[in-house]
Amino acid sequence: MAPRDASETRGALGAWLERRFELPAAGTNIRREVVAGLSTFATLSYILFVQPAVLGTTGMDPGGVLFATCVASAAACFLMALWANLPFALAPAMGHNFFFAFMVCGAMGVPWQQALAANLISGTIFLCLTPTRAREAVMEVLPAGLRAGIGAGIGLLIALLGLEWGDLVVSHPATYVQLGDLSSPVARLTLVGLALTLALHARGVAAALLFGMLGTALLGLVAGVIWDLDPALVTFTGLSSDLPRPTAAFALDFAGLFQRPFSEWFVIIALLLFLDLFDTVGCLLALGGQAGLLDRRGRLPRARGALAADAAGTVIGASLGTSTVTTYVESAAGIASGGRTGLVALVVGLCFLAALPLAPLFELLGAGVVIQSDPFPVTRYPVLAPALILIGALMASALGGIDWKDPVDAIPAFLTALIIPMGFSIADGIGWGLVAGSWLALVTRRRVSPLLHLLALLYLLRWLVAY
C-alpha cells in the first residue's frame, strides 16, 4: 500500500498545483514549470557568490549576508508566486548592491546598519505606492534616455570593478589608471576565467555566469597545486554542516540615519526608491513581453501583485541584512524554457532555501586573494571578476535605448553613464544627468516633469553645501 499511498499523495499535490497556479489555462504543466524554475535559478545563482563579497566590503559578515540573501529571495519568490502567479524570480539586484556598498557605505561613509534602515524605508514607500497611481507619476520624472544612462552607467561601474578585482586595471600616478601586470597569477586566472565565461555566454549557455565561476575556481585550485602559489588563488577547506547565521538581521539604525544631514538621508532614500522602481517596472514589462503576458495596451496583468511582492522583498531583505531585492531579468531563462506561472517562482524560492547548506561553497568562490602592495595590501577576487565584467557588458546594452540624435535626451544620458564609473558614484552620476537634463530642457523649452527640475535644484544645493 505504501507505493500506492505515495502515488496518491503526489497525484493530489499535482492536482492542487495545477489548480492553484492555473497551469492548464496557461498552456503548461508541472514538469515544464519545474524545469523552468531550475533554469532560472541556475542563471541567477551567481548572486549567492557575489552578494557576500560585495556587502562584505562594508564590514558585514558574509555568512549573515548569504543567509539574508537566501531567505529574503525565497520569501520574495514565494510572494511573487502567490500574489501574482507570474514566472518571475527575485533576489538582491546587481547595481543596487554596489550602490549600497561602495556609494552609501563607502563614499558617503554611512554605516551599514543605517544603510539597511534607509533601504527598508525605501521599500516601505514602494510598497505604499503600489496600490496607487503615484508610481506612474514617479516613473515619468526621468526621461527614457536618462533611465537608460543610469542602467548603462551602473553596468560600466560593475565592469570597472571587475577589471580592478581581477588585477587587470590598476592605479597610476600620472594617468590615474593603467593596465595591470598581466603576468601576475591573479590577472592570468581572471583572463582565463573571462575567456571561459564569455565563450559559455556566446554559446547560449543559460547558466554561463555560474559555470564560468565554477570553472575559474577549479582552474585556480589546480594552478595553486601545480605551481604552489603563495598566496593561493583559491583555497578549499571542505564543506561544513554549519548553516550561516542571521548575524545582520534587524540591525537597523534609524536614529543614526536621521541624525545625518537632511541632504544625505533624503538623497539616499530617494535614490534607493528610484533605482528600485525603475528597475522593477522595466524588468516586469520586458519579461511580460517575452512571456506573451502583456495585454493589447502593453500592460502586465496582475502587475499590482508583482510590484507588491517586489517591494515586500526589499523590506524583508533589509530587515534580514541584504540590499534591495527586486525582479531579476534572468527570469527570461525560465520563460525561454516554457515557464508561464508562479510555480516557476515557487521552485526558485525553494532552490534558494536549499542553497543554505552549501554556504562553504559560496564562500569559496567569493573569497578574495590578499596581495602585498605598496603602500598597503589589496584584495582581489579573480573568481568573481569575469562574472562582473560580463554583467557590466550586458547592462551597458541599455545605451541602445538612447536617442543619440536628440541632444536633450543623449547628453544627460551620456554624462550619467560616464560620471557613474569615472566618479565612482551612482548618486553623483544621476545628479549630473538631472542637472544637465533640467538645463537643456529649460533652454530648449522642452516639457519635462516639474519634479525633474526640483531634483536637479536639490542636487545643486547639495553640491554647493558639500563643496
pLDDT digits (tens, 9 = 90+) for 155-172: 898 899 899 999 999 888
The predicted pLDDT at position 241 comes to: 57
Tell me what percent of the residues of the chain surpass a pLDDT of 70.
93
pLDDT score of 341 more than 90:
yes
pLDDT, averaged across the chain: 87
Lowest mean pLDDT among 204-218, 279-293, 331-345: 279-293
The predicted pLDDT at position 461 comes to: 82
Q: Beta strands 176-179 and 325-327: pairing type?
A: unpaired
324: CB partners within 8 A, 6+ apart:
92, 93, 96, 97, 100, 119, 122, 123, 272, 275, 276, 314, 317, 318
The predicted pLDDT at position 55 comes to: 95
Q: Residue 246: which of 356, 324, 346, 99 has the closest Cα?
A: 356
- DSSP for 333-389 reads HHHHTT--SHHHHHHHHHHHHHTGGGHHHHHHHH--EEE--SSS-EEE-TTTHHHHH
Domain definitions of the chain by residue range: 27-234+256-394+403-466
Say which residue the cell 552578494 belongs to: 51
Q: Residue 34: which of 87, 82, 76, 92 has the closest Cα?
A: 87
The number of residues making up the chain comes to: 467
Residue 89: DSSP 8-state: -
Pick the more confident residue, 239 or 345: 345
3-state SS, residue 325: strand
Q: Residue 169: which of 144, 194, 145 has the closest Cα?
A: 194
Tell me what percent of the residues of the chain surpass a pLDDT of 90.
47
Q: Using 50, 70 and 90 to split pLDDT, how confident is the model at 8?
A: low
The predicted pLDDT at position 82 comes to: 96
Measured CA to CA in angstroms, residue 405 lies from 146, 156, 401 at distances of 14, 22, 12
Q: Residue 210: which of 306, 35, 330, 304 has the closest Cα?
A: 330
- Paired with 170 in beta bridges are 178
Q: Using 50, 70 and 90 to split pLDDT, how confident is the model at 1?
A: very low
Say which residue the cell 527575485 belongs to: 90
Say which residue the cell 548603462 belongs to: 152
The predicted pLDDT at position 134 comes to: 66
As a whole number of angstroms, the distance between CA 417 and CA 399 comes to 9
The predicted pLDDT at position 464 comes to: 79
pLDDT, one tens digit per residue, over 385-397 is 998 899 889 888 8
Q: Using 50, 70 and 90 to split pLDDT, how confident is the model at 428?
A: confident
As a whole number of angstroms, the distance between CA 1 and CA 262 comes to 69
Residue 206: DSSP 8-state: T
3-state SS, residue 105: helix
The predicted pLDDT at position 287 comes to: 84
Lowest mean pLDDT among 109-118, 333-342, 344-353, 361-370: 361-370
The predicted pLDDT at position 9 comes to: 63
The string over 423-457, giving b where at least 16 C-beta atoms fall within 10 Å of a residue's C-beta and e elsewhere, is bbbbbbbbbbbbbbbbebbeeeeeebbeebbebbe
The predicted pLDDT at position 330 comes to: 84
Which run of H or of E encompasses 258?
helix 254-258
Give the other-Cβ count within 10 Å of 203's Cβ. Answer: 8
pLDDT score of 411 more than 60:
yes
pLDDT, one tens digit per residue, over 227-269 is 777 778 887 666 655 788 899 999 999 999 999 998 789 989 9
Count of CA atoms in the C-beta half-sphere (13 A) of 70: 23
As a whole number of angstroms, the distance between CA 209 and CA 258 comes to 39
Rg of the Cα atoms in the chain: 22
Q: Residue 41: which of 324, 351, 279, 346 has the closest Cα?
A: 351
As a whole number of angstroms, the distance between CA 215 and CA 120 comes to 36
Pick the more confident residue, 351 or 284: 351
As a whole number of angstroms, the distance between CA 392 and CA 121 comes to 28
Q: Using 50, 70 and 90 to split pLDDT, how confident is the model at 14?
A: confident
Q: Using 50, 70 and 90 to split pLDDT, how confident is the model at 140?
A: low
Cβ-contact 380, 368 below 8 angstroms: yes
pLDDT score of 3 more than 70:
no
pLDDT, one tens digit per residue, over 38-66 is 989 988 888 998 999 999 999 999 999 99
The predicted pLDDT at position 238 comes to: 61
The predicted pLDDT at position 10 comes to: 64
The predicted pLDDT at position 264 comes to: 87
Rounded average pLDDT over 419-429? 85
Give the other-Cβ count within 10 Å of 171's Cβ. Answer: 11
As a whole number of angstroms, the distance between CA 267 and CA 459 comes to 9
